[in-house]
Amino acid sequence: MKIASWNVNSLKVRLEQVLQWLEHHQPDVLGLQETKLTNDKFPADAFAELGYHVAFSGQPTYNGVALITKTALADPVTDIPDFDDEQRRVIAATCGPVRVINLYVVNGKEVGSDKYDYKLSWLEAVTRWIEEEIKRHPKLVVMGDFNIAPDDRDVYDPEAWHEKILCSTQERQALEKILALGLHDSFRLFDQPEAVYSWWDYRAAMFRRGLGLRIDLVLCSDALKPGCEASYIDKEPRKLERPSDHAPAVAEFAL
């Protein structure tokens, strides 16, 4: 079972790139973030033509998440329980034998800001939700744009990013609390080359210079860990004309 996460930074702009990627790679599940579309504008028919089912939760201009799956989705959820939030940042559903949670984690803007505090409280609420989900669904994947680089291996210049947004101690501790529920960063289950990233700022030719952060993750539960056969970042879409600033993060499982 191939499961992928991709922040597309506007599905309207990058629909053809996503459709071509689906046709070429044939994932069983693709989670999208930053679709930036209201639900009435979501191009469900385009995915149906490729044989995919969809579930989505959107809003104009910002945020928006979706699940694109080969099998019909069951029990979809589009809100964090007991957390009042208008922003469309989460979607979960059961896809065959696996429960999938797709997250677009709050960026936080700047350490110490109101948006940073919101990020930390949002992560606390998500952690409580995941804790309940993993009790009901031992075969669980939590994926998405986490807007957190797990450790210094995931940052092109750890000294420059030290205690900055995406790399601060409190953000990393929040991610560790999620992992402590019984989840594993699939990418780190394997020997990986150095300097592998999933996001590169559009500015200053950061992608061409290889200066990025790995903030797009596919986490798998204890029950799925033994069957994880591969985990990688597909940089090819980042080379396209008018690309997203993120590349897909992919994990493959034998179920």
- Residue pair 64/58 in contact (Cβ under 8 Å)? The answer is yes
Q: Which helix (H) or strand (E) holds 131?
A: helix 114-136
The pLDDT, as a whole number, for residue 180 is 98
Q: Per the structure block, which two tokens stand in for 75?
A: 């029990």
Q: Is the pTM of this model over 0.95?
A: yes
CA distance 135 to 83: 19
- Per-residue pLDDT tens for 108-138? 999 999 999 999 999 999 999 999 999 999 9
Report, as residue numbers or ranges, the catalytic residues.
Answer: 104, 145
Helix, strand and coil in the chain, % to nearest 5: 30, 25, 40
**Terminal Cα-to-Cα distance of the chain (whole angstroms):** 7
The pLDDT, as a whole number, for residue 155 is 98
- Cβ atoms within 10 Å, residue 163: 10
Q: Residue 2: which pLDDT band, with cuts at 50, 70 and 90?
A: very high
- Residue pair 220/206 in contact (Cβ under 8 Å)? The answer is no
- Per-residue pLDDT tens for 31-42? 999 999 999 999
- Please state, rounded to an integer, the average pLDDT across all residues of the chain: 98
Fold that domain 2-253 belongs to in CATH: Deoxyribonuclease I; Chain A (3.60.10)
CA distance 74 to 105: 23
- Residue pair 1/96 in contact (Cβ under 8 Å)? The answer is yes
Q: Per the structure block, which two tokens stand in for 173?
A: 């501790």
Helical pair 114-136 and 169-179, crossing angle rounded to 10 deg: 10
The pLDDT, as a whole number, for residue 169 is 98
User: Per-residue pLDDT averaged across 62-83, rounded?
Assistant: 97
Question: ∠ at Cα 88 (19, 136), nearest 5°?
Answer: 90
User: Per-residue pLDDT averaged across 155-173, rounded?
Assistant: 98
The pLDDT, as a whole number, for residue 67 is 98
CA distance 138 to 135: 6
User: Per-residue pLDDT averaged across 51-66, rounded?
Assistant: 97
- Per-residue pLDDT tens for 5-22? 999 999 999 999 999 999
Tell me the torsion sign for CA atoms 191, 233, 97, 175: positive
- Residue pair 227/214 in contact (Cβ under 8 Å)? The answer is no
- Per-residue pLDDT tens for 211-234? 999 999 999 999 999 999 999 999
Nearest to 98 by CA among 221, 7, 14: 221
